[in-house]
Structure 1
Amino acid sequence: MVNADVPHDPAKALEYKESGNKCFQAGDYVQAEALYSKAINHDPSNPLLYTNRSMALLKLHLYPRVILDTRHAISLLPHNMKAYFQLAQAQIALGDPSSALTSAKKAHEFCVEECMSGGKGASSIGPITELVLRAKKEDWERKVPDWCVDDITFSVMLDPTKTGQSYDRSSIMEHLRRSPTDPLTREPLQVSDLRPNLALRAACEEFLQENGWAVDW
């Protein structure tokens, strides 16, 4: 919360921010958060101060406050890679992988844009990509039953075939072009050995009809 009685003073805000950075680097996240809050009081329209404070709040596991700060930072600077990245971390920590995936994808989009324009995004692309994959995996595991998932591509099977183990036809055909073996058992396997799994196909089709979002995974 901003103290309206504190005079607007960007220079003073910068002093508090730099002191907060030193505390953060020393591992004193409580003091860092307090100093960033003082900086915000002196310059409440600076989006970078909110992402600095939310960085400390993440370390303190105060995730609801992280969400408030990052959303405010985004309202001040919509193309805010750091804010979306921190927001995604808080959302996944609070058990909301679906929202985290949306936020992480935004962070990734802005990170790529920054890289292409010669900015500093290159150092962030790895952690952001990892977070996208983690959120996608957690969201997937929460929603998609194991029997729908192809063990080669980890997507929902559209045309299951059975060889003992069921695979989607397109993925097993692609695998057999590279290696005439079962992907899991490594035993010899030919295209002629494949048989349609009609019961599983019907079940997968029903699942996709009821959960259209799964087609995009």
Structure 2
Amino acid sequence: MARLKLGHWESVIADCQTCLALSPQNMKAHYYLAQAQLSIRDFDSALDNALAAHKLCAATNDKSLSAVTAMVLRCKKDRWADREKKRLRLEREVEERMLDLLRRDRDEMLMAEEDEIERKVIEEEANEKIATLSGVFEASRTQSQKKREVPDWAIDDISFDIMVDPVITKTGKSYERATIMEHLRRHPSDPLTREPLSAADLRPNLALRQACEEFLEQNGWAVDW
């Protein structure tokens, strides 16, 4: 824990991996390992360990479940942000390459044409193409750079996916129908309180379902969250 606070990530990773080799079900080792891996931008591994920690937490009803759940969501968010950053960089490189080709084509045509009127036409048409292409990329960039974040109320706490058919339990907590039904097949109890719970106790959360549908309608990227 001290090394984690000091930011000695590689040492934390080595210690946690040694611990897990001896005790694969050590929840804290998975949790600390996820934090360290996230700090060195190993997003996939961090998410795997955060999910492992969450699974162990849920199985034992550990009081750290909320913190571990938050770590899972943070791993998913940071991984998406990293991928989005790379996508935007690649898009910029493609844009610059295409614009450069258009400019070269324009300059070559101008050099080959001696008639001033034709040169003017060539230059105007080429510049219009360049401006149009730049506008297309800018519009795409503006749209993609809008803040993308899945609200907590839309996320199922079992699968960590956005909900499409949420149901509500006796305690007022909502889950995705498929995931809570799978949970009840294995453990006929409330995931949070551990009190008895059956499929008959579940009710459709129509208001939340409508909200999730509207969110997905405007944010299709959230399907892959």
TM > 0.5: no
**Structure whose CA Rg is larger:** 2
Q: Which has the higher contact order (CA 8 A, sep 6+)?
A: 2
Taking structure 1 as the reference length, the TM-score comes to: 0.43
Taking structure 2 as the reference length, the TM-score comes to: 0.41
